[in-house]
Amino acid sequence: MKGTVLLIICSGLTWGVPGKPLFPDQEKDPSFWNKWAQSTLKNALQLQKLNQNTAKNLILFLGDGMGIPTVTAARILKGQLSGKSGEETQLEMDKFPFVALSKTYNTNAQVADSAGTATAYLCGVKANEGTVGVNAAATRSQCNTTQGNEVTSILRWAKEAGKSVGIVTTTRVNHATPSAAYAHCVDRDWYSDGEMPAEAIQAGCKDIARQLFENIPNIDVIMGGGRKYMFPKNQSDVEYPGDKKHFGTRKDGRNLVAEWTNRMKNKQAFYVWNRKELMSLNPNNVDYILGLFEPGDLLYNLERNPDTDPSLTEMVEVAIKILRKNPNGFYLLVEGGRIDHGHHEGKAKQALHEAVEMDRAIGLAGLLTNIHDTMTVVTADHSHVFSFGGYTSRGNTIFGLAPMFSDVDQKPFTAILYGNGPGFKVVDGLRENVSTIDYQENNYQAQAAVPLSMETHGGEDVAIFSKGPMAHLLHGVHEQNYIPHVMAYAACIGQNRDHCMSSNGASGLGPALASLTALLTLNHLFC
């Protein structure tokens, strides 16, 4: 089989630009590769000195649906956007010294959803799909299984330890990923009471938007979309007045934004709903921010209006500048939430641009913080049935064609394909000839093997990249719910803190405690 393919490639099918070499000349010289590898080795040897400080700050970047094929393709895209061939480019997350694998299954699902997984990497326990902030004894959509099954998140543990806490997402702030940080809900779709069945409301279950403001007193930074879930039903949206589909959804008639503004009126607290308001704030004068930039999810970064909507990177910048003022440090959850949506729609270009934007935010967060006191983890909740292949040549545009034709239907195919999804397309009973269409446009839906209106998640492990204090504890193949245990351990928050009290210098508290112990010892000697 391989022989046949090689034969095809070697038998004169052309790729790349004729006359232009496929790769730089220097790569023909072994010393190029040897030098590069040797300098990587030198860096790796530095890692023998483990960073065992206590993490003052914790940042989790969650690429929703950012499986490993997505990471690789986003890397190539990032390189190609800056005029390189792409494969050799380093993403910001690629620069993290430690990488592990995360097993993403939910308690009741081999292929996970974003709610059960969020409960795992935020609350530290695996849970059923569709549920947030409740353990696996809770059943999806059954209100009466909530009580007694609530589990708390690392965001809460951090708040209780005196840290500032924040949530930044490109989805609704009450979407599955962020909601597990503050809500306990048996149904991820209960965005507001307008989406809840009457029985669940009668039985005392609370919608997720409401829990955002009621469960954890004063989350310091909340930024993303989801405005409509905060306003009374039929209330027009500030940005799209008169557009019914963006009207408020709350049946209880509450205005959660007004309630928040009112409750915070004696604090340095600001509600903003567009980029201009956000960028005009001086973070030094802001202690609390509620930024709701769209009625639902934010727009894809490729479609964002840069005058009215902030980018993920801009939101992260403001968030960190507000949060880092707390001398006790902070916990920040950042979600690149629409990588997942791009894939579900079969729109690989949207998904990959979302991933590149999250990577940009990771780079900026690195500049605003310090690896000596900040642990940063980048991971995904689950993968997708997204793939790219087809023996493409070096530097082939990531949205381009494989350099061959199918030996079955004689038609070309794109390197990016989906296992299932809306891109399945048959023309006159046969697979579409992609050469007759523009497969590089933003909303092109790559071909899928099985027709499905929404492409599905994938079941394989996802990567965990980590840097900063205790990052080396993310080092192998782990269950996804291990992640917040490590982060809490690194920051000396939550339950597992015995090591923080030891005076052997195993933590950043170590030096302070060691001198305290020395003083006490002296005291003991002299008195």
Ligand X SMILES: *[C@@H]1O[C@H](CO)[C@@H](O)[C@H](O)[C@H]1NC(C)=O
Look at phi and psi of residue 316 and say left if phi exceeds 0, alpha if psi is from -120 to 50, else beta: alpha
Question: Is 381 assigned a ligand-binding role in the annotation?
Answer: yes
Look at phi and psi of residue 141 and say left if phi exceeds 0, alpha if psi is from -120 to 50, else beta: left
Please work out the total of residues on this chain that contact Zn ion, with binding judged by CB under 5 A: 1
Q: Is beta strand 462-467 parallel, antiparallel or unpaired with respect to 374-380? A: antiparallel
CA distance 273 to 258: 13
> Among residues 15 and 489, whose Cβ is nearest to ligand X?
15
14, 31, 280, 410: which one binds ligand X (CB under 6 A): 410
CA distance 44 to 31: 19
Considering only residues 338-367, where is the footprint of Zn ion by CB under 5 A?
A: 340
34, 147, 435, 443: which one binds ligand X (CB under 6 A): 435
| Least distance (Å) between residue 347 CB and ligand X | 22
* Site mask for ligand X (CB under 6 A), range 196-235, x = bound: -------------------------------------xx-
Can you spell out the DSSP letters for 365-404?
HHHHS-TTTEEEEEEES-EESEEE-S-PPTT--TTSEEEE
> Among residues 48 and 410, whose Cβ is nearest to ligand X?
410
Question: Is 113 assigned a ligand-binding role in the annotation?
Answer: no
Q: Three-state SS for 470?
A: coil
Q: Are 49 and 322 in contact (CB under 8 A)?
A: no
Question: Is 40 assigned a ligand-binding role in the annotation?
Answer: no
Task: Find the residue with minimal CB distance to Zn ion.
Answer: 340
Question: Is 457 assigned a ligand-binding role in the annotation?
Answer: yes
Does 220 bind Zn ion (CB under 5 A)? Our answer is no
* Interface region with ligand X, contact rule CB under 6 A, candidates 279-287, 373-381, 433-441, 518-526: 433-441
In the chain, the amino acid numbered 420 is N
Can you spell out the DSSP letters for 210-269?
HHHHHTSTT-SEEEEE-GGGGSBTTPPPSSSTT-GGGS--BTT---HHHHHHHHTTTSSE
| Least distance (Å) between residue 422 CB and Zn ion | 14
Phi, psi of 162 (to 5 degrees): 90, 10
| Least distance (Å) between residue 142 CB and ligand X | 5
The pair of three-digit structure tokens given for residue 523, joined into one six-digit string: 């005291």
* Contact of residue 340 among ligand X, Zn ion, none (CB under 5-8 Å per partner type): Zn ion
Considering only residues 232-251, where is the footprint of ligand X by CB under 6 A?
A: 233-234
Phi, psi of 9 (to 5 degrees): -65, -40
CA distance 153 to 173: 16
Does 496 bind ligand X (CB under 6 A)? Our answer is no
Does 425 bind ligand X (CB under 6 A)? Our answer is no
**Contacts (Cβ under 8 Å, ≥6 apart) of 46:** none
Considering only residues 121-160, where is the footprint of ligand X by CB under 6 A?
A: 142, 144
* Contact of residue 496 among Zn ion, ligand X, none (CB under 5-8 Å per partner type): none
Q: Which of 82, 85, 102, 114 is catalytic?
A: 114
* Interface region with ligand X, contact rule CB under 6 A, candidates 254-262, 341-349, 429-437, 443-451: 429-437
| Least distance (Å) between residue 480 CB and Zn ion | 15
> Among residues 39 and 436, whose Cβ is nearest to ligand X?
436
| Least distance (Å) between residue 423 CB and ligand X | 17
| Least distance (Å) between residue 416 CB and ligand X | 18
- In the residue annotation, 102 being an active-site residue is answered as no
Q: For tokens 């490639």, what's the residue?
A: 9
| Least distance (Å) between residue 505 CB and Zn ion | 44
**Contacts (Cβ under 8 Å, ≥6 apart) of 482:** 124, 474
| Least distance (Å) between residue 203 CB and ligand X | 8
223 bridge partner residues: 168, 291
Buried b (16+ CB within 10 A) or exposed e, 46-80: eeeeebebbbbbbbbbbbbbbbebbbbbbbbbbbb
Does 497 bind ligand X (CB under 6 A)? Our answer is no
* Contact of residue 406 among Zn ion, ligand X, none (CB under 5-8 Å per partner type): none
Q: Are 490 and 123 in contact (CB under 8 A)?
A: no
Question: Is 340 assigned a ligand-binding role in the annotation?
Answer: yes
Please work out the total of residues on this chain that contact ligand X, with binding judged by CB under 6 A: 9
> Among residues 247 and 465, whose Cβ is nearest to ligand X?
247
> Among residues 214 and 252, whose Cβ is nearest to ligand X?
252
Question: Is 438 assigned a ligand-binding role in the annotation?
Answer: no
> Among residues 137 and 477, whose Cβ is nearest to ligand X?
137
Q: Is the dihedral of CA 402, 406, 412, 413 positive or negative?
A: negative
Q: Are 231 and 257 in contact (CB under 8 A)?
A: yes
Question: Is 344 assigned a ligand-binding role in the annotation?
Answer: yes
Could you count the other beta carbons within 10 Å of the beta carbon of residue 1?
5
The residue ranges that bind Zn ion (CB under 5 A) are 340
- The residues annotated with a catalytic role in the active site are 114
The residue ranges that bind ligand X (CB under 6 A) are 142, 144, 233-234, 410-411, 433, 435-436
Q: Which residues are annotated as a binding site for Zn(2+)?
A: 64, 340, 381-382, 457
Q: Which residues are annotated as a binding site?
A: 64, 175, 177, 335, 340, 344, 381-382, 457
Q: Which residues are annotated as a binding site for Mg(2+)?
A: 64, 175, 177, 335, 344
